[in-house]
Structure 1
Amino acid sequence: MINSTFIKNKHLLSRASFGIQFHQINDLDKKSTKQFLSELIAEKEFKPINIVSNDLEIDYATFSKLDSNAKKIKSKKNREQNILLNLKFFDEMLNSEDQLREKMAFFWNGHFATRIINPQFNQDLLNTIRENALGNFGDLLKAVSKSPAMLQFLNNQQNKKGHPNENFGREVMELFTMGRGNYTEKDVKEGSRAFTGWGYGKDGTFQERPRFHDSESKTFLGKTGNFNGDDILDIILTQKITAKFITKKIYRFFVNENIDEKIAEDLSENFYASNYDIKKLMTEIFTSDWFYEEKNIGAKIKSPIELMTGILRILPTKIYNPKNLIVYQKLLGQMLLYPPNVAGWPFGKSWIDSSTLLLRMQLPQIWSGLRPLDLKPKADDDLQMGMSTDLIKKKKNGNENFTIDWPKIEILFKDKNISEILLQKSLNGDGKYINQFSDGSIKMNIINIMSVPEYQLM
């Protein structure tokens, strides 16, 4: 176990939040890790995101009857609203004092992955996830399963007696709860029958539609009865493999991709015994000595969102056109509310390829105005959500959309070891090579250290 409080605090903030915030730098060696954790897990008032206008048409049948021009207008507004929702979620990650909630919401947003165009549905699901992020996993599972976003994305609106749609019934076990290999094809078929009739009305609220529900007996995971959707989820939650599957995924995300099987087993047993208390699980992780062992520090590659928020949290920055952040999300391969598929975003080395690594390492220079952004997102209107790639304005010496408060930063970083603050892992070698590209100023030292491969680790 690492004994340095400074190192432990950096590690905790990199995993339980979106990184060190500017005002926290002086506290890294003054506050105890227990104090930082206490602040992170302290109960705070939940503030739902309410940025999507409520005049959006959410009934597909009605939308399909509109003429082409009206559809175009409506689709454009949907895209604009999704962009605003994306940026609001990003802002919560960046600035919210409820950092652990937002970090957990980021995790669950990738776990319960959906990708739909309806911004009201997206906002409702995001708020459901954020509100329950540190609560009870069973409550979260049921709330997400009944959300219009999930019901639409996995086609349960079309799941009806006599013509069952198995998409949701399969994914709820394979991806959301138990993992592949822990159920049979018969369980998929029988479970899907129990979810028949689950849908949503024109106002976007969950509905159980009796006329579409298969009320005959089903046999699921060894139990037989006239099950409905809630019954199926309850049976899934009684399976210890569910607690193990969720615990291992949380371990990979928050601790290390290389799982310590003994620790994961103990965590999952306690998670199951607590009736799936998420906050209790996270507290156990962050208070355990093994969490702070050297093998777990700097062992994870930052996702694009973690990289971007990490830079912006520690460097006070004015963003003149936040919509530019969408372009960077796309270029780096992680657009909020738009996962690649129902399995969500990848972990680890999947984030790195020849093009994304170069941009990741150049990001501090681009945002500091030292070099222009020379890349453009591919012409993929679906992924761009209708945005123009010309949003990022350029000037000869860089990007004029970001202004970093360097005078303020230089005062705070004066006489501090910059690399010790910014890096989780020590620089390879003696780090002298950084000075070859620096004028010796605090500004250039920070930019250069943020541009090294080691800064990609957390």
Structure 2
Amino acid sequence: MATSEAQLREKMTLFWHGHFACRLREPRFALLQHNTLRAHALGKFPDLLLAISKDPGMLQFLNNQQNRKQRPNENFARELLELFTLGRGHYTEQDIKEAARAFTGWSYNPQGEFVFRARQHDRGQKTFMGKRGNFGGEDILQMIVENPRTADFLTAKLYAFFVSDVPNPERIKDLSSYFYETGYDIPKLLEKIFRAKWFYGPDVVGTKIKSPIELLAGLQRQFDLTYADGRSPLVLQRALGQELFRPPNVSGWAGGRNWIDSSTLAFRLRIGPALLQEAALEVNLKPDDDTEPTAPRKRRQDGLRTVRAKADLSGLHQQMQEAKERELIEKLSQKLLQVPLQPETAALIQQHIPSGVAHADKVTLLTLRLLSLPEYQLC
């Protein structure tokens, strides 16, 4: 997200990573799943759904390798219906049981390749969502995407991710119908959202709280940040509550106001200024068995980490080179903030800038002040 030219694909990969949330211990499987999500991130949802349903990481995480005829395991079938497609309340317990039978025999080999184990598959008649037949896993997936409720569920989640945490039923209904009509074409749905006039309205712009990953990727991209230690981004993710490849559960990250509490907000406001000034940012992590991103060193308090980074502000200085002194705060706030800077806040910031400082130094000082504002946490 911080370095790629394919920004939308990376953002959608992040979305699907949270939607199909898996916490995998096997690095190879995590990489395979990540590549699958990226490859299908801007394709059609039925193709992505089939690919992720055959993904070894998903099958392992939801125990489908234990799903065999006469001994069905319902974990994958349950999450498929509840969290990945239809949403709670739009299926029955019997649908889960019958879907689980259809996915018996779906497994993988040690190389991370999908394997259909025919001897373990239940070939009996199954009744799923009012239809009866000798269904296999592919049949279940097809019936799921044929149900318009799947489009409703996915569209609502994409709306919350890109637009607002407050749902707008009329907009979502219109978008969902279009998504369904296009055969779940993800790029067409996103284009419809991004071309809508309301997407740029005051009720949308600057109303969402940046996720920790969006915050960190934005800082790294805007200011060409380079971390002194390759593990530092993991430490920051952990401290902020969103560690990639380690979602809290199969539901993924809750998002929205859940990103903010009294401690995380204070830490968020310190991150930008500290990293841009190459200051040592001390981070206290709670020890947490296998999720501890770095092992404690000898004679150091358990959980204490130091993060350092180097920023390059030359690009920003160049962009602001022609800006007059009285325009600086306005131009910088327009570039760095998604919400208008209140006049009283702008005046207060400028009061703390020493008189007589060089133009480039003033740009740097104003930038540090803007990054320490709550407004910088919004997108």
Q: If the length of structure 2 is used for normalisation, what is the TM-score?
A: 0.91
State the alpha-carbon separation in 1 of the partners of residues 278 and 111 from structure 2. 50
Equivalent in the alignment of 2:125: 217
State the alpha-carbon separation in 2 of the partners of residues 174 and 148 from structure 1. 20
Equivalent in the alignment of 1:172: 80
Alignment of 1:173-252 (within 5 A): 173-252=81-160
How many percent of aligned residue pairs carry the same amino acid? 45
Alignment of 1:294-443 (within 5 A): 294-369=202-277, 371-388=279-296, 401-414=308-321, 415=323, 416=328, 417-431=331-345, 432-439=347-354, 441-443=362-364
Matched, 1:446 2:360: no
What amino acid sits opposite 1:254 in the alignment? F
State the alpha-carbon separation in 1 of the partners of residues 368 and 164 from structure 2. 27
Decide whether aligned partners of structure 1 residues 313 and 342 sit closer, same or farther in structure 2, where only a CA change above 3 A counts: same
SS state of the match for residue 115, structure 1?
A: coil
1:267 to 146, 157, 175: 175
Paired residues of 2:278 and 2:309 also in contact (CA < 8 A): no
SS state of the match for residue 226, structure 2?
A: strand
Decide whether aligned partners of structure 1 residues 373 and 386 sit closer, same or farther in structure 2, where only a CA change above 3 A counts: closer
What amino acid sits opposite 2:309 in the alignment? F
Equivalent in the alignment of 1:292: 200
Greater RCO between the two (CA within 8 Å, min separation 6)? 1
2:21 to 97, 113, 117: 113
Answer with 314-323 or 152-161: which moved more. Answer: 314-323
Report deviation, 1:424: 0.8
Report Cα offsets for 1:326-363 as digits up to 9, x if no partner. 10010011111110000011121000011111110000
What amino acid sits opposite 2:348 in the alignment? Y
Report deviation, 1:116: 1.1
Report deviation, 1:388: 4.5
Computed over aligned residues only, the root mean square deviation of the Cα atoms, in angstroms, reads 1.8
State the alpha-carbon separation in 1 of the partners of residues 305 and 101 from structure 2. 53
SS state of the match for residue 84, structure 2?
A: coil
2:42 to 128, 134, 143: 134
Paired residues of 1:324 and 1:392 also in contact (CA < 8 A): no
Decide whether aligned partners of structure 1 residues 393 and 114 sit closer, same or farther in structure 2, where only a CA change above 3 A counts: closer
State the alpha-carbon separation in 2 of the partners of residues 174 and 339 from structure 1. 17
State the alpha-carbon separation in 1 of the partners of residues 146 and 63 from structure 2. 26
Equivalent in the alignment of 1:62: none
Paired residues of 1:159 and 1:195 also in contact (CA < 8 A): yes
Alignment of 1:45-56 (within 5 A): none
SS state of the match for residue 284, structure 2?
A: coil
Report deviation, 1:320: 2.8
Paired residues of 2:219 and 2:225 also in contact (CA < 8 A): no
Report deviation, 1:138: 0.3
What amino acid sits opposite 2:25 in the alignment? I
State the alpha-carbon separation in 1 of the partners of residues 32 and 305 from structure 2. 33
State the alpha-carbon separation in 2 of the partners of residues 371 and 392 from structure 1. 16
SS state of the match for residue 163, structure 1?
A: coil
Report deviation, 1:317: 2.4
What amino acid sits opposite 1:404 in the alignment? A
Paired residues of 2:231 and 2:293 also in contact (CA < 8 A): no
Decide whether aligned partners of structure 1 residues 435 and 388 sit closer, same or farther in structure 2, where only a CA change above 3 A counts: farther
State the alpha-carbon separation in 1 of the partners of residues 67 and 348 from structure 2. 61
Report deviation, 1:248: 0.7
Runs (5+) with no aligned partner, structure 1: 1-92
State the alpha-carbon separation in 2 of the partners of residues 238 and 384 from structure 1. 43
Equivalent in the alignment of 2:59: 151
Equivalent in the alignment of 1:19: none
Report Cα offsets for 1:166-187 as digits up to 9, x if no partner. 1100000100000000000000
State the alpha-carbon separation in 1 of the partners of residues 279 and 265 from structure 2. 16
Report deviation, 1:408: 4.2
Decide whether aligned partners of structure 1 residues 118 and 358 sit closer, same or farther in structure 2, where only a CA change above 3 A counts: same
Decide whether aligned partners of structure 1 residues 364 and 193 sit closer, same or farther in structure 2, where only a CA change above 3 A counts: same
Report deviation, 1:290: 1.5
Report deviation, 1:263: 1.2
Report deviation, 1:413: 2.4
Decide whether aligned partners of structure 1 residues 240 and 171 sit closer, same or farther in structure 2, where only a CA change above 3 A counts: same
State the alpha-carbon separation in 1 of the partners of residues 120 and 151 from structure 2. 32
Equivalent in the alignment of 1:82: none
State the alpha-carbon separation in 1 of the partners of residues 77 and 352 from structure 2. 56
State the alpha-carbon separation in 2 of the partners of residues 318 and 386 from structure 1. 19
What amino acid sits opposite 1:438 in the alignment? I
Equivalent in the alignment of 2:31: 123
Alignment of 1:84-123 (within 5 A): 93-123=1-31
Equivalent in the alignment of 1:43: none
